[in-house]
Amino acid sequence: MPAKDHIFKRFDEELTELAGQIAEMGGMAEKMVADSILALVRMDTVLAQKIIGSDGRVDRLEKEVEEKAVLMIAQRQPMANDLREIMAAMKISADLERVGDLAKNISKRVIAINSPFAAKKLVIGVEHLSEIALDQLKNVLDAYSARDAAGAAAVRQRDDEIDALYTSLFRELLTYMMEDPRNITFCTHLLFVAKNIERIGDHATNIAETVQYLVTGEQPTDNRPKSDMSSLTNVEFKGDK
């Protein structure tokens, strides 16, 4: 085949490899999140340790994606669509790296809690929150693979649900702490776990925006719904007197 076609073919292969690395990172990040919640629900500190140990692989993959992306831009000098592909891969890998970090942080808190005292009811709330976040993560990675702008838009819309649930969980945890000071340490860790899950939802939303940009060539400009009111939450203390 002509030399030019050969160069194009090699470039396409590199793009496919890059997308493959994103898919691999996505799978790893999803698993880390799912496992960290499992570790929390079962108070499984061995699993938690395993997750903490696996975060390095996600970090290394991000660095690899970034290095490969910069090299591709420098060597191939891609235009328009191809450049967008590469930029999108870099952005998505940065979000996935943060998702891995958040799962690692949840795992560290499981080790800190390490007590069967965990109130089942509250953990269920956190578990439910994580199910939606994982769903969002899965859907947005599917949208990336399929270059599906509508799928990505749906993920952005649904972030609202996570935020609203997080706010109500925040309120519930505060109330629980006030009822019995012995719950404070445990509930504080759960508060941060819930916050981490809410942040994982935010990263799914970021990725959704990147997918929309990748497919349409434009940054979405409509404002995303916002229902995380937890930072505005003030639960009045009703005990004692």
- Of the listed pieces 17-25, 33-41, 104-112, 136-144, which binds a second copy according to CB under 8 A? 104-112
Q: How many degrees, rounded to 5, is the angle at CA 78 between CA 219 and CA 6? A: 140
Does 235 participate in binding a second copy (rule CB under 8 A)?
yes
Residue 216 sits in the site that holds a second copy (CB under 8 A): no
> Is residue 111 at the binding interface for a second copy, with CB under 8 A as the rule?
yes
In the complex, minimum distance from the CB of residue 12 to a second copy, in angstroms, rounded to a whole number: 18
Classify the phi-psi angles of 36: left when phi > 0, otherwise alpha if psi is within -120 to 50, otherwise beta. alpha
47 binds a second copy (CB under 8 A): no
The whole-angstrom separation of Cα 158 and Cα 154 is 6
2 is a site residue for a second copy (CB under 8 A): no
**Alpha-carbon span 27 to 138, nearest angstrom:** 9
Distance from C-alpha of 145 to C-alpha of 199, rounded to nearest angstrom: 22
Q: How far is the CB of 108 from a second copy (least distance, A)?
A: 4
What does the H/E/C string look like for 162-208?
A: HHHHHHHHHHHHHHHHHHCHHHHHHHHHHHHHHHHHHHHHHHHHHHH
Does residue 114 bind a second copy (CB under 8 A)?
yes
Minimum distance from residue 148 beta carbon to a second copy (Å): 22
Say how many residues touch a second copy, by CB under 8 A: 41
Q: Which of 108, 138, 147, 224 binds a second copy (CB under 8 A)?
A: 108
Binding residue for a second copy, selected from 6, 128, 182, 226, defined by CB under 8 A: 182
| Lookup: tokens for 99 | 């998702």
Q: By CB under 8 A, which span of 4-12, 13-21, 63-71, 138-146 interacts with a second copy? A: 63-71
Tell me: does residue 192 bind a second copy (CB under 8 A): yes
Give 13's contacts (C-beta < 8 A, 6+ positions apart).
Answer: none
Query: Is residue 116 involved in binding a second copy (CB under 8 A)?
Result: no
Rounded distance between C-alpha atoms, residue 193 and residue 70, angstroms: 35
First-to-last C-alpha distance (Å) of the chain? 85
Residues that bind a second copy (CB under 8 A): 63, 67, 70, 73-74, 77, 79-80, 83-84, 87, 94, 105, 108-109, 111-114, 174, 177-178, 181-182, 184-185, 188-189, 191-192, 195, 219, 231-237, 239-240
